């Protein structure tokens, strides 16, 4: 009988014990694989955050903040200077506009420009223009209250109907105001974003509110624009917006060469701080303020890093547990078969043959346990990852609250105050970071499962080989005399 056949037969010699061993191994292996899947998912999310947001620097006019601020606007020449700073890979300029429905604007005391000069991205002034579009967000109680607090409700004693302005941004590349690529749901981009164009990208809710689709037209200051594509920003306020090419927005504002903000992307996370300092020195502290885009996402990355470390430690612990189970089982089996080992030694079996027999037997048990454990991991990995992330989100939120980290993302949209609006998606100690924490998706990919099972098999070989070789070193006469 071959060593393989004898090993498989021995593995099923006691079926009840085999079933119990396989069940215990399946739990340990399943937990190890689930933790490995969670670890890989979180690592991928951290890499995504670092690549998309962590390397972005935002340049605003010096002194601009929220609804207040002053200073001089940024220029195209400054964008060229910024692009020449070491480690800065790209610089994208933007021009902020605020659009009001022509009829609603006429009803405001002070005319269509009554609200101009407030609330561009990051606090710089935005130009208010009229449009045929109707805002997709109703003013509601908060909008009316904020309108009254700005002193623009008129002097007649009766406040006119207030409408939320539509955010319009001229951009020099297909990115949003955080530097991430626009996610189009329909249509195409605007082609050359550095050239004047009559195309526009509309938020999905804004397009739906106005009954527009790709190919439809609307007007801004009586100039006709065509909907080239639709995007989904993920929030109601974000979708109450549209994007134009930068020259088109500058032409509408009659401010050629002027920028509201600049988005500088650094070539790597390691160079962000150095690039930030160099950028500030190149532009001058009296002309521009340089900040790291969405700094509250650092809390998200930090919390995800904790989840990554915890899941890896748990994977190692579960793997060690599986190895310990195999070791104890094989010690028990070797002790039970001392006489069998003595007979094999007496008829000339080599130590490596005896060791191979027990290793193969252990691998049969591990293979069965891995098959069941992989099935368990495929169902449990998502829940385990969510539980780990939720726990760390709560901890990070508490710590952030104690440290006084404000909610919201300054400059996330025109008119956004530094601390964010109450009820805005960025509200809370972690701001938008808490949403990113819960957006991690753990999927049991074949590659990750294969890597985990390979690690389990490696531990199984060691756990089976050690007791078998130690017993095989005993002389046959000693084993048989003891029996």
Determine the pLDDT at residue 126. 52
Do 310 and 210 belong together in one domain? no
Question: 3-class DSSP state for residue 117?
Answer: coil
The last residue of a domain, from among 221, 248, 267:
267
Report if pTM > 0.85: no
466, part of any domain: yes
Determine the pLDDT at residue 475. 67
261, part of any domain: yes
369, part of any domain: yes
Do 448 and 318 belong together in one domain? yes
Residues 6 or more apart from 75 whose CB is under 8 A from it? 257, 258, 259
105, part of any domain: yes
Distance, CA of 98 to CA of 5 (rounded, Å): 78
Residues of the chain with confidence (pLDDT) below 70: 1, 48-54, 65-70, 104-127, 142-162, 176-180, 293-303, 382, 385-445, 468, 471-483
Do 212 and 139 belong together in one domain? yes
- Tokens representing 158 are 């009766």
Give the residue from 74, 95, 54, 52 showing the smallest Cα distance to 414: 95
Do 255 and 129 belong together in one domain? yes
Do 261 and 360 belong together in one domain? no
Residue ranges in 84-150 assigned as alpha helix (H): 102-107, 140-149
448, part of any domain: yes
Do 88 and 8 belong together in one domain? no
- How many other C-beta atoms are found inside a 10 Å radius of the C-beta of residue 198? 15
Do 364 and 342 belong together in one domain? yes
Domain count for the chain: 2
The last residue of a domain, from among 267, 287, 309:
267
Domain of 344 in residue numbering reads as 3-50+300-482
246, part of any domain: yes
280, part of any domain: no
Do 108 and 257 belong together in one domain? yes
Exposure pattern of 28-55 as b/e (b: 16+ CB <10 Å)? bbbbbbbbbbbbbbbbebbeebeebbbb
Do 438 and 457 belong together in one domain? yes
Distance, CA of 343 to CA of 272 (rounded, Å): 69
The last residue of a domain, from among 244, 267, 290:
267
Do 45 and 61 belong together in one domain? no
Distance, CA of 334 to CA of 115 (rounded, Å): 85
The answer to whether 176 and 293 are in contact (CB under 8 A) is no
290, part of any domain: no
Q: What is the DSSP string of 238-272?
A: TTSEEEEEHHHHHHHHT-TTEESEEEEEES-GGGH
Do 311 and 422 belong together in one domain? yes
Do 244 and 367 belong together in one domain? no
The answer to whether 88 and 266 are in contact (CB under 8 A) is yes
Determine the pLDDT at residue 388. 66
């Amino acid at each position: 009988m071959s060593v393989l056949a004898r090993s498989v037969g021995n593995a099923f010699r006691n079926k009840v014990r085999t079933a119990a061993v396989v069940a215990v191994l399946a739990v340990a292996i399943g937990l190890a694989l689930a933790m490995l899947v969670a670890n890989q998912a979180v690592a991928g999310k951290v890499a995504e955050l670092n690549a998309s947001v962590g390397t972005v620097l935002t340049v605003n006019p010096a002194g601009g903040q929220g609804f207040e601020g002053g200073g001089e606007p940024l220029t195209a020449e400054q964008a060229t200077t910024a692009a020449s700073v070491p480690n800065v890979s790209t610089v994208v300029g933007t021009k902020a506009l605020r659009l009001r429905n022509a009829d609603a604007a006429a009803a405001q005391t002070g005319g269509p420009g009554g609200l101009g000069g407030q609330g561009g991205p990051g606090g710089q002034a935005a130009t208010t223009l009229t449009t045929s579009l109707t805002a997709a967000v109703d003013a509601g109680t908060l909008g009316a209250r904020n309108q009254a607090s700005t002193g623009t409700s008129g002097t007649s004693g009766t406040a006119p109907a207030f409408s939320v302005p539509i955010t319009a941004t001229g951009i020099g590349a297909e990115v949003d105001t955080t530097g991430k690529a626009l996610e189009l749901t329909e249509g195409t981009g605007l082609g050359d974003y550095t050239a004047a164009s009559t195309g526009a990208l509309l938020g999905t809710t804004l397009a739906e509110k106005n009954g527009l689709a790709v190919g439809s037209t609307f007007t801004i200051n009586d100039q006709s624009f065509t909907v080239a594509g639709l995007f989904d920003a993920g929030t109601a306020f974000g979708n109450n917006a549209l994007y134009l090419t930068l020259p088109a927005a500058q032409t509408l504002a009659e401010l050629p060469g002027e920028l509201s903000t600049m988005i500088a992307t650094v070539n790597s996370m390691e160079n962000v701080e150095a690039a930030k300092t160099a950028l500030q020195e190149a532009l001058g502290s009296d002309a521009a303020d340089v900040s790291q885009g969405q700094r509250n996402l650092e809390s998200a990355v930090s919390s995800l890093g904790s989840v990554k470390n915890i899941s890896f430690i748990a994977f190692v612990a579960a793997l060690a547990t599986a190895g310990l189970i195999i070791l104890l089982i094989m010690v028990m089996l070797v002790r039970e078969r001392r006489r069998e080992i003595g007979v094999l030694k007496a008829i000339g079996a080599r130590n490596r043959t005896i060791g191979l027999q027990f290793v193969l037997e252990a691998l049969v048990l591990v293979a069965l346990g891995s098959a069941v454990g992989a099935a368990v991991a495929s169902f449990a990995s998502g829940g385990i990852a969510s539980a780990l992330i939720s726990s760390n989100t709560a901890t990070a939120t508490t710590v952030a609250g104690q440290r006084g980290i404000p909610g919201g993302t300054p400059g996330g949209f025109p008119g956004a105050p530094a601390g964010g609006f109450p009820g805005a998606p960025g509200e809370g100690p972690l701001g938008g970071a808490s949403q990113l924490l819960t957006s991690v998706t753990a999927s049991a990919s074949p590659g990750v499962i294969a890597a985990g099972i390979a690690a389990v098999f490696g531990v199984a070989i060691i756990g089976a080989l050690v007791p078998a070789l130690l017993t095989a070193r005993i002389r046959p006469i000693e084993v048989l005399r003891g029996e």
